[in-house]
Structure 1
Amino acid sequence: PKTKQIRHFDKQLLIEAIMAEAGGFENVPGTAVGQVTYIKVGRSPEIFDVPLGDEFKTVTVKGELSDLLAHFQSDSVGYISRRAMEKMRYEGDFDHLARFGEWDASERSVPGPVK
C-alpha cells in the first residue's frame, strides 16, 4: 500500500504497533516500534516498509483509534459495512450483514436507531 492508502484504509499494522508498544502480545515485552512492514503475497510478492516517524506516529494512531471507538459507543451511531470505500467493488466482506442502502452504492442508507 502507498502512504495515502495506509493513512486512510490500511491501519491494521499501525494498530498492531500500538499493541506491541503496550506489551499486548504474550511473552513479548512492550517496546518502542520503529517501523512496520507490509508483505504482499501472491503472483507479485512485495515488501513495503513503513517507518513510524512524522507521517505515522503511534501516539497519533492511538488517539485516532480511541476517538473512533468512543464515537461508536453512542446508541445513536450505527455501524456501516462500507464507511469509506477505496475502490468500488461488487461485493464487500460484510455485505451479508448490511441493510440494503448500505451495501448498494447507488442507494442512500436510511439511518435508524441502534438497539
Structure 2
Amino acid sequence: FIDFERGRRAAIATSHLEIKGTLAIGAFTLSGIADRIDVLTSGGAAILDYKTGAAPSKKQVENLMSPQLPLEAAILASGGFGDIGSRATEALLYLSLASEKSARTPRLIDGAAELAKEAVDALQRRIAWFAEENTPYRSRVRPYRADIAGDYDHLARVREWSPSGWAEEE
C-alpha cells in the first residue's frame, strides 16, 4: 500500500476523503459517500474504494453487478461532489486492506466514463421499472451467489420456498 501511494503522489493535486455526493435523476436523488477522490494534476480524477475484504472483480464492475464506482464517476462528472466540481474520472481503483498479500494488489477498472454512462442508464431503467404499479419487489434482484443471503429473504420466505429443501436444515 505504501509503495502504491508513493508511486501515485506526484500525480495527485488534492485528495478528498469520505466525501458526500448526489446526482438528481428526475425525481430520484442518488446519494453516496466516496471513500476517496484524488484530483489529479492532469485535471481529471481518480476514485478509490477501500475494501476490508475482497474487491469486486473487473468483470463484476464492467457488467454493473457492482456499480458503486461507476455511479460515483457519474456523480463526479455532474459536479455532485461539491467543491471538487465536474471532472472526468481517469481511474476507478479498488484498494484492498485485506491481510492476504495477494488480495492487496490494487484493482484498476478502465473505461470509467463509459461505465458511468451505462450505470446511470441502468439505474434510470431500474427506477422506471420500480415506478410501475405491477412491478414485484423481489428479495434478490440479480443473485449471482446463492450462498449469500439477501436482506429481505426472511420476508420473502426464501428458505421455506427453496427447492433444495433448505428450510428442513434449520
Residues 1:29 and 2:88 aligned together? no
Is the 2:77–2:88 Cα contact (8 Å) retained in structure 1? yes
1:78 is displaced (CA, Å) by 2.5
Give the Cα separation in 2 of the matches to 1:53 and 1:63: 14
Instruction: Give 1:86's aligned residue.
Output: 144
Instruction: Give 2:167's aligned residue.
Output: none
- Structure 1 segments (4+ residues) deviating >6 Å: none
Unaligned runs of 5+ in 2: 1-55, 165-170
RMSD: 2.6
Secondary structure of the residue aligned to 1:72 is helix
1:59 is displaced (CA, Å) by 2.0
- 1:17-96 matched pairs, under 5 angstroms: 17-44=73-100, 45-52=104-111, 56-89=114-147, 91-96=149-154
Q: Which stretch shifts more, 16-25 or 71-80?
A: 71-80
TM-score (norm 2): 0.52
Secondary structure of the residue aligned to 2:92 is strand
Is the 1:81–1:102 Cα contact (8 Å) retained in structure 2? no
Q: Comparing both structures, which one devotes a greater share of its residues to helix?
A: 2
Instruction: Indicate the percent of aligned positions where both proteins have the same amino acid.
Output: 21
Instruction: Give 2:35's aligned residue.
Output: none
Whose radius of gyration is greater, 1 or 2?
A: 2
The count of corresponding residues between Structure 1 and Structure 2 is 105
Unaligned runs of 5+ in 1: 108-115
1:93 is displaced (CA, Å) by 3.3
In structure 2, give the amino acid aligned to 1:4. K
Query: Match for 1:5 among 30, 49, 60?
Result: 60
Q: Which stretch shifts more, 64-73 or 42-51?
A: 42-51
Secondary structure of the residue aligned to 1:34 is strand
